[in-house]
Chain A
């Protein structure tokens, strides 16, 4: 390919895009710098992207000093792990049965599934359901309501549709039943789509805060990092000690709520930062899928 001349237009574009990158990244870097800076020094202001008086005290507070925050971190991890595992197992199992064209109930189940993309009961009826099922202040409220999504099932199914049928046929001749085929053949062959959907489920679980707020705030053990962050944010009066704990005074001496807030923000962001570059593929899959279906 012949090399084109770099024009004035290209330079302007380049500068604009650098501007976009700065606007996107600066807030994260700023918060990282504040979280790594001495709390009393931060109050003087003027921190940009480098800490002025480097300290890990704010992080030590979360992982050592404050039992509530550490338990919230643990709960965030737990719900992410359990929610992702159960979610992916449920979605791929249902997806497999729907990828079997010969399955007697294929059509009705597909209809029941797809309809859920267009109808929803809304906030209050869902709240009543959770309450009637006795899921309030119960760990299962993080897992059960999010078990399946029609979109995920359809994405996985369309991947499974492309697995050569001969593979399952020969296994059947060898006497394998449908469950063995699913577990030993379909799952290993579907790993790429399972990995991407899992990442999406994990991001969704990690980022959830509203279910804690609505269904689990009566049980302090079920608090998550996102919910703790939300509480700090909600508490506009900073001096009243928004880090809710018995040892709030201890915290006030070494750190301050703002610095803790920044440290939690960073801890809640890092896992996302690690996985999100892998997620674009899923979107493209969903996109082409939508095009085919319509």
Chain B
């Protein structure tokens, strides 16, 4: 195969040297190990094997053994027993889970904050990318973009600090609302359970909009400039160009990201809820991962906690299949 490759490459192409060398190399490689048997190649590649073996072991220990740990969900797992001494109980822990009212509250909170985050997160990122794309002043544009993704890189601990500081009774947000006369007495944002979902969503939007916009912004750069020229000739305003050209041109990207994000609706994690939550808002802050953490590790119900994890994975797969099937049905792009 490599024999045919080299002569077939046009000699005047700038990439030719690399391709030729690659071809030559493959030929060389094939000549020596191709004739030698597997064991001889193995012997020649001792260094490569030594260099990869520790990491293969690492992958098995740190990535695959935990997956094997899923068996715990079907046992009454006791840490002092070996695997063969564990008592198998079938779906008992799943049945317990579905009979637990707290679980449904955790599910509601997870999906609630997940959906809010998905809607506002996506809208904010697309809007920001659209506006940035229209901005004329190139240097200022670059500066805005660079500043906009700063919050993505700071930890949730810092963001939670910022949010509680900004929203505190004597904080800037209350100060601003009082100044413009919207409220008379400061609002204690962090101690109101009904506001918790909104606060988490706002924090999420503040942290991730700039970063999430990068992908839409990059997609917009690929729009055919002729479309804009044609629209200008037809007298379309910049507003209409945004709406009828830029936005449709990034539609495939929007659909793909939506499908992936819907699959992750249930995987919103626990960091925000754990760091921003407190006892007063606990009933609105309890998400599935926190529930698994509290029960599984806090109360030593390891099997129960593992069952929660499996439930999450199953829901995640179902959600992504539904979203993908829906996108396929309405004739839009899809992930698979």
Contact = CB atoms under 8 A, between A and B. Distances in A.
A and B: bona fide binding partners: yes
Interface of A: 4, 6-7, 9-10, 13-14, 16-17, 20-21, 23-28, 30-31, 34, 45-46, 48, 90, 93-94, 96-98, 100-105, 109, 112-113, 116, 119-129, 131, 133, 144-145, 147-148, 164-166, 169, 177-179, 182, 203, 206-210, 214, 226, 229-230, 233-234, 236, 261-262, 265, 268-269, 272-273, 275-277, 279-280, 283-284, 287
A265 B79 CA distance: 39
A276 B147 CA distance: 10
Given A24-B210, A27-B165, A233-B161, 6 more contacts: A21-B144, A98-B52, A122-B69, A148-B55, A165-B25, A229-B157
Nearest to B311: A122
Contacts of A97: 48, 51-52
10 contacts: A24-B206, A28-B150, A94-B55, A103-B52, A104-B41, A104-B49, A166-B21, A169-B28, A178-B48, A262-B165
B29 A102 contact: yes
A230 B278 contact: no
Given A125-B69, A226-B157, A284-B218, A14 B140 contact: yes
Interface in B277-298: 278-279, 289, 292-293, 296-297
A65 B136 CA distance: 51
B214 to A, nearest CB: 6
Looking at chain B's contact residues, the main secondary structure is helix
Nearest to A94: B55
A117 B312 CA distance: 16
Interface in B12-57: 18, 21-22, 25-26, 28-29, 33, 38, 41-42, 45, 47-52, 54-56
Given A105-B52, A122-B306, A122-B312, A14 B69 contact: no
Nearest to A100: B48
Chain A interface mostly: helix
Given A17-B131, A103-B45, A280-B149, A265 B306 contact: no
B18 A121 contact: no
Interface in B214-259: 214-215, 218, 238-239
A30 B147 contact: no
Given A124-B69, A233-B157, A6 B136 contact: yes
B63 interface: yes
A21 B131 CA distance: 13
